[in-house]
């Protein structure tokens, strides 16, 4: 008779932490590095991945960003999304994290629902 090996059980509500696949990108001096990411909700772990990437500008969609602080060294330009009816989760949200030393060079040119131009 064949039996499947039992899998370890995680306590309810505990999420499995995935190993980060983000690596710092080597960019030649005087070059601007830009990336995009459908984050499906920003978390502390994803904040670490943003920092690891070292990108100068990161376009992020589906942030679910509430009132969290920006990752160190970055400034947020964008829409934080909307709270659900019960006010528990935020959905949507899109914008850009720009490194602090570049933030003074950026400005929101045009903002419409679901669009942001910097």
- The pLDDT assigned to 72 comes to 87
Q: Are 117 and 78 in contact (CB under 8 A)?
A: no
Please name which of 62, 58, 66, 74 lies closest in space to residue 38, comparing C-alpha atoms.
62
* Residue in the block written with tokens 């306590």: 11
Domain membership flag for residue 10: no
Residue 99 lies in a domain: yes
User: For residue 50, what pLDDT is reported?
Assistant: 80
At 53 the pLDDT is 82
* 5 in a structural domain: no
Single out the residue of 73, 55, 72, 64 nearest to residue 95, CA to CA.
Answer: 64
pLDDT band for position 1 (cuts 50, 70, 90) = very low
Give the number of domains in the chain.
1
Range of the domain at 91: 34-117
Q: Is 8 inside any structural domain?
A: no
Average pLDDT over residues 80-104: 73
* Residue 85 domain-assigned (yes or no): yes
Q: What is the mean pLDDT of residues 91-108?
A: 84
Q: 1 lies in a domain?
A: no
Whether 44 and 72 have beta carbons less than 8 Å apart is answered as no
pLDDT of residue 101: 92
Q: Is residue 95 scored above 80 in pLDDT?
A: yes
Summarize pLDDT for 27-45 with one digit per residue, the tens: 777 888 888 888 777 777 7
Cα separation, 73 vs 59, in Å, equals 15
Question: Does 97 map to a domain?
Answer: yes
Q: How confident is the model at residue 99 (pLDDT cuts 50, 70, 90)?
A: very high
Q: Which H/E stretch holds residue 35?
A: strand 34-38
Would the pLDDT of 24 be above 60?
yes
């Amino acid at each position: 008779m064949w039996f499947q090996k039992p899998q370890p059980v995680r306590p309810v509500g505990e999420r499995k932490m995935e190993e980060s696949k983000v690596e710092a990108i080597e960019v030649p001096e005087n070059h601007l590095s830009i990336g995009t990411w459908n984050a499906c909700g920003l978390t502390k772990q994803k904040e670490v991945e943003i920092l690891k990437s070292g990108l100068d500008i990161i376009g992020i969609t589906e942030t679910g960003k509430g009132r969290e602080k920006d990752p160190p060294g970055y400034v947020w330009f964008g829409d934080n999304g909307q709270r659900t009816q019960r006010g528990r989760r935020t959905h949507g949200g899109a914008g850009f994290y720009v490194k602090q030393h570049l933030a003074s060079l950026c400005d929101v040119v045009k903002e419409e629902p679901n669009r942001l131009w910097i």
